[in-house]
Amino acid sequence: MTRTPTPFHHADPGTPESAWLADERWDDVPVLDLTAVARHYDRVLVVAAHPDDETLGVGGLVADLTDRGVALDVLVATDGERSHPVRGSRARHSLAAHRRAEVERAVARLGAGRPTHIGVPDGELEHHADTVVDAVRARSDPATLVLAPWIADGHADHDALGQACSTAVSHSGADLAYYPIWLWHWGSPDALPWPEVVASESSRVASWRKRVALQEFPSQTTAWVDPGDPGALSLPVLGTTSLERAHRLIETLVDPTGALPTVSSDRLARRAADRAQRFDRMYDEGDDPWRLAGSFYEERRRALVLGLLGCRRHGRALEIGCADGRLTAALLERCDDVVAFDTSRRAVTAARARAPRATVEQGMAPVDLPSGPFDLVLLSEVGYFLSPLELVATLRRCEAALAPDGEIVLCHWQHPTRRVPLDGQLVHEQAASMLRTGHRASYVDEDLRIDVWGGGPSVARREGRT
């Protein structure tokens, strides 16, 4: 089947990340079961049309699978020598060698072995489909999972490679799933086949390894000088928006045959319940498990959060993850009404005692978020306890619950985290790429980061001081 590529240019701004992650259909997407993948398949074969496709599309998944000891091979169809308009065969050969070296370093960063290069001419994959079919067929069998570019990705080489892999697995018996890359650029949420989508939630470690791997592609992320014509300068292929998409904490697979193992809804519910019980057990060692009493760090954090608010007094506020209610009590001095909740029953009991005027409930983000509108929504040192899909859903619902000129405040610990899904920098980066409410203020030091979205005009403008 021949597909007509979708016309687009990499230098165009493309579809913003907020347009993708604001879609509520993410809430119904099943989650890939990495443990079951490692148990079910003897080998995973990632096939890329060009050097960097494997990292852009499934770099986090590659890192997570190699961490689980999965045998993983990367097969690169072309050397990507036409990514820039260089002149002459010598210049193209130089670019091809450069990109080969880049992908080898990147794949090593992800924990996989040295990739295999087929060497099909860049831009002509459709005319060399038999070569690709033979290469994939020789490296796959019924115990193999093949991951290839989505057959409707809109790039001629990607579409042709996806179709060639489909032909190959029809002979080898391997399972096949696809990953989009350029669809995120030219498409809209309605272009994604949602009933066939499976989400791979990248772990904290895998997310950072993917970021490091992407830095190994300077030919794509920085301007490129044609060695045959030093005066010719090509702009980066992967701009800010493309890298935002690549840094998304959720990688997407299209699974038309339903072959991929996914986490059951019961297991996801148990994961959330286990988290609540774990926080409750922390109180077995005393009524201050977070060591909040007498901490100048905590006192300063509360003062900084309050100091960055763009309004002297808010109406209705929502605090997600209130712990024992110390910040809740402080918010009551600046808000008419505070709705706070925490996943720990014992934390809720403590918060109710400390802030009796607040409405404090036990609940889990995102499923138990109360309805708005809220003039202030605060997530303080809670985002990294959520899985990537939970975080995205929480941020989406917080923004939807925001009153006009309301504020969303995120405040998180900057030091490394352990035994939790994410860290503070990942949480704030994901929020920055998906929130459509304008970013208003930031505070960053070695210990914490605070970001504020929304809030309307500046305080000085509101007071007529400008």
pLDDT of the residue at 1: 45
Containing structural domain, residue 384: 296-462
Rounded Cα distance between 192 and 201, Å, is 18
Over residues 33-55, mean pLDDT = 97
Rounded Cα distance between 319 and 317, Å, is 7
Percent of the chain at pLDDT > 70 equals 98
The answer to whether position 9 is within a domain reads: no
The answer to whether position 59 is within a domain reads: yes
Identity (one letter) of the amino acid at 51? P
pLDDT of the residue at 224: 80
| Confidence bin at 5 (pLDDT 50/70/90) | low
| 244/361 same-domain check | no
Residues 6+ apart with CB under 8 A from 292: 298, 323, 324, 326
The answer to whether position 285 is within a domain reads: no
Tell me: the pLDDT tens digits for 80-115?
999 988 878 888 898 999 999 999 999 999 999 999
Question: Mutual orientation of helices 345-354 and 265-282 as an angle, nearest 10°?
Answer: 50
| Confidence bin at 4 (pLDDT 50/70/90) | low
Instruction: Look at residues 243, 263, 283 and tell me which one is the last residue of a structural domain.
Output: 263
| 67/210 same-domain check | yes
| Confidence bin at 30 (pLDDT 50/70/90) | very high
| 317/215 same-domain check | no
Over residues 358-387, mean pLDDT = 95
State the total domains in the chain: 2
pLDDT of the residue at 89: 84
| 170/61 same-domain check | yes
| 238/371 same-domain check | no
| 107/173 same-domain check | yes
| Confidence bin at 235 (pLDDT 50/70/90) | confident
Rounded Cα distance between 130 and 126, Å, is 9
pLDDT tops 60 at residue 338: yes
pLDDT tops 50 at residue 42: yes
Rounded Cα distance between 153 and 78, Å, is 17
| 249/305 same-domain check | no
CA atoms within 13 A on the CB side of 371: 0
pLDDT of the residue at 254: 98
Tell me: the pLDDT tens digits for 415-453?
999 999 999 999 999 999 999 999 999 999 999 999 999
pLDDT tops 80 at residue 204: yes
The answer to whether position 1 is within a domain reads: no
pLDDT of the residue at 438: 93
The answer to whether position 269 is within a domain reads: no
pLDDT of the residue at 275: 84
Instruction: Look at residues 222, 244, 263 and tell me which one is the last residue of a structural domain.
Output: 263
Asked if 165 and 158 touch (Cβ cutoff 8 Å), the reply is no
The answer to whether position 324 is within a domain reads: yes
| Confidence bin at 12 (pLDDT 50/70/90) | confident
Over residues 48-69, mean pLDDT = 98
| 345/208 same-domain check | no
Instruction: For residue 360, give the CATH number of its domain.
Output: 3.40.50.150
Instruction: For residue 197, give the CATH number of its domain.
Output: 3.40.50.10320
Instruction: Look at residues 207, 241, 263 and tell me which one is the last residue of a structural domain.
Output: 263
Over residues 305-328, mean pLDDT = 96
The answer to whether position 139 is within a domain reads: yes
Over residues 146-166, mean pLDDT = 97
| 245/335 same-domain check | no
| 254/313 same-domain check | no
pLDDT tops 80 at residue 3: no
pLDDT tops 80 at residue 227: no
| 228/363 same-domain check | no
Residue 42: helix, strand or coil by DSSP? Answer: coil
Q: What does pTM read for this prediction?
A: 0.95
| 255/387 same-domain check | no
Q: What is the mean pLDDT of the chain?
A: 94
The answer to whether position 6 is within a domain reads: no
